[in-house]
Amino acid sequence: MLTASICTIGDEILIGQVLDTNSYNIAQELSKIGVKVNYKSAIGDTLDEIISELEKCIKKSDVVIVTGGLGPTKDDITKVALKQLSNSNGYKYSEEQAAIIKRILTTRGIAITDINRDQALVPENCQVIENKLGTAPCMKFSFEKEKRKSLLYSLPGVPFEALGLLPDICTDIKSEFCIENVLYKTAVTFGIPESTLAKMIEEWEDGLPSTMKLAYLPNPTIGVRLRLSYYGDSIEEGENLIDEKFSILKEIIGDALYGWGETSLQKEIGKLLQDRSATLSTAESCTGGNIAHLITSVAGSSNYYRGGVVSYANEVKINSLGVNSETIDKYGAVSRECVEEMALGVLKLMDTDYSVATSGIAGPGGGSEEKPVGTCWIAVGYYDKKEAKVLSQRVNFASDRSRNIERFTSNALNFLRLTILNSTK
């Protein structure tokens, strides 16, 4: 099996200033095309160290992915190291990269400095892969070791730029090496904790053939993703096996399985709404706009999302959403009664087919005996035969503020998804 090393350059990862998500994402993408990461390392911005470490990676693996140290500033010296490592006599000026730098900076209205120009300089013996998202170039080097070639790709450290380059790099790797067939498909679930899920599907998992492998990929906002991989010769057999196994899985866990591949609750909600040509509005207290943010992070969401109110202060709940002040006096803002009035209020205010509302205590303050930090009421408004209806549920978590907000949000989205599914089309 093709192997890869990932080397991260830069003090910020080493000393724990930045959490290293790059090597995590890179490893996932590589494993999808059947490349196994067998070594990972992080080193500082020291020339000798970078060179000797990369030599080690080249020895260890067929593919080497380097991230970081490509910024325009003095402390970034990856390019110098790569020039020596590749025995380049000097640097060449990459017209492609220069054009990208020019485009990015001019659209941002930033004057181009010599430092920017220098970013288009790359070691002679490298091939530039277009980095459309940033000013730092992505470079590809080829090395020979005992008649076996090993490829090194140097990526910028900025996560979204590195991520953006991965598809091109994976395509390039596949074209350079003949990789055995790896097929995979990911089922995305929400609402069943990983351990419970594992027990539920234990028998199914044990029944998988030796050519198949299951991976659990839990994610707080997306849910638990189940990636089923097939390592074999027959693509047809692989596709059939994967579909067959997943259709059985769907019977076991039902609506908790909500999508496939790179999806999310907000994307699936968007599909459901567009299928019904229905519209959505939001009324958020404790989630403070995060539901609206996720809904609108989906391209085309303006087709079904009309808007929302972030009603942090009670006056806003009363004045903008029409919540009855007596409701808040009697039951408190964090109550079934209040959140249901919020959902119905915004449903009418923005004249939409569906609405979702939240009111809870994210913490660290504001908790009480019967309503501790982590308590959240969620309501979904909708129409049943032209009559406005509302459903609500209470969820409880005991985490820090940001995690509570994250969980309130994803649970509200999931409750909205299930309500749309079950409401008459």
Site for its own copies in 310-329 (CB under 8 A): 310-313, 315-316, 319-320
Give the side-chain half-sphere CA count within 13 A for 307.
9
Q: Which of 109, 144, 385, 424 binds its own copies (CB under 8 A)?
A: 109
Asked if 175 is part of the footprint of its own copies (rule: CB under 8 A), the reply reads no
Closest approach of its own copies to the CB of residue 125, in Å? 26
Q: Which of 102, 168, 231, 289 binds its own copies (CB under 8 A)?
A: 289
Asked if 52 is part of the footprint of its own copies (rule: CB under 8 A), the reply reads no
What 8-state DSSP symbol labels residue 256?
G
Asked if 396 is part of the footprint of its own copies (rule: CB under 8 A), the reply reads yes
Q: Which of 14, 128, 278, 318 binds its own copies (CB under 8 A)?
A: 14
d(CA 99, CA 416): 45
Q: Which of 2, 20, 328, 381 binds its own copies (CB under 8 A)?
A: 20
Helix axes 22-32, 159-176, angle to 10 degrees: 30
Three-class DSSP category at 176: helix
How is residue 150 written in tokens? 């090993």
Closest approach of its own copies to the CB of residue 167, in Å? 13
Q: Which of 282, 327, 358, 410 binds its own copies (CB under 8 A)?
A: 282
Q: Which of 306, 336, 348, 389 binds its own copies (CB under 8 A)?
A: 306
Closest approach of its own copies to the CB of residue 178, in Å? 21
Task: Report CA torsion sign: 330, 336, 341, 346.
Answer: positive
Asked if 274 is part of the footprint of its own copies (rule: CB under 8 A), the reply reads no
Q: Which of 364, 368, 421, 422 binds its own copies (CB under 8 A)?
A: 364
Task: Report CA torsion sign: 91, 96, 102, 105.
Answer: negative
The footprint of its own copies on this chain (CB under 8 A) covers a number of residues equal to 111
Q: Which of 1, 36, 149, 325 binds its own copies (CB under 8 A)?
A: 36
Asked if 353 is part of the footprint of its own copies (rule: CB under 8 A), the reply reads no
Asked if 113 is part of the footprint of its own copies (rule: CB under 8 A), the reply reads yes
Q: Which of 173, 228, 272, 291 binds its own copies (CB under 8 A)?
A: 291
Asked if 181 is part of the footprint of its own copies (rule: CB under 8 A), the reply reads no
154 vs 375, beta carbon nearer its own copies: 375
Closest approach of its own copies to the CB of residue 136, in Å? 10
Asked if 424 is part of the footprint of its own copies (rule: CB under 8 A), the reply reads no
Angle at 91 between CA 87 and CA 96, to 5 degrees: 125
Under 8 Å between Cβ of 183 and 31: no
How is residue 167 written in tokens? 């598809």
Asked if 211 is part of the footprint of its own copies (rule: CB under 8 A), the reply reads no
Nearest CA among 293, 285, 264 for reference residue 357: 285
d(CA 115, CA 135): 11
Closest approach of its own copies to the CB of residue 143, in Å? 21
Give the side-chain half-sphere CA count within 13 A for 262.
4
How is residue 48 written in tokens? 């000798």
121 vs 125, beta carbon nearer its own copies: 121
What is the separation of C-alpha 63 from the centre of its chain, rounded to a whole number of angstroms? 24
272 vs 349, beta carbon nearer its own copies: 349
The amino acid sitting at 49 is E
Does a cis peptide bond (omega within 30 degrees of 0) precede residue 193? no
88 vs 322, beta carbon nearer its own copies: 322
Q: What is the dihedral of CA 47, 160, 133, 307, to 10 degrees?
A: -160
Asked if 411 is part of the footprint of its own copies (rule: CB under 8 A), the reply reads no
30 vs 379, beta carbon nearer its own copies: 30
Outline where 151-234 has alpha helix (H).
Answer: 159-176, 194-200, 202-206
* Residue 216 parent element (H or E): strand 212-219
Q: Which residues contact 178 (CB under 8 A, 6 or more apart)?
A: none
Q: Which of the stretches 70-78, 146-154, 234-242, 267-275 binds its own copies when contact is defined by CB under 8 A?
A: 70-78
202 vs 243, beta carbon nearer its own copies: 202
* Residue 58 parent element (H or E): helix 47-60
The amino acid sitting at 71 is G
Site for its own copies in 228-267 (CB under 8 A): none
Asked if 179 is part of the footprint of its own copies (rule: CB under 8 A), the reply reads no
Antiparallel, parallel or unpaired: β 375-384 and 387-396: antiparallel
Closest approach of its own copies to the CB of residue 299, in Å? 6
Q: Which of 92, 271, 293, 336 binds its own copies (CB under 8 A)?
A: 293
Angle at 138 between CA 133 and CA 144, to 5 degrees: 160
Closest approach of its own copies to the CB of residue 278, in Å? 14
Asked if 103 is part of the footprint of its own copies (rule: CB under 8 A), the reply reads yes
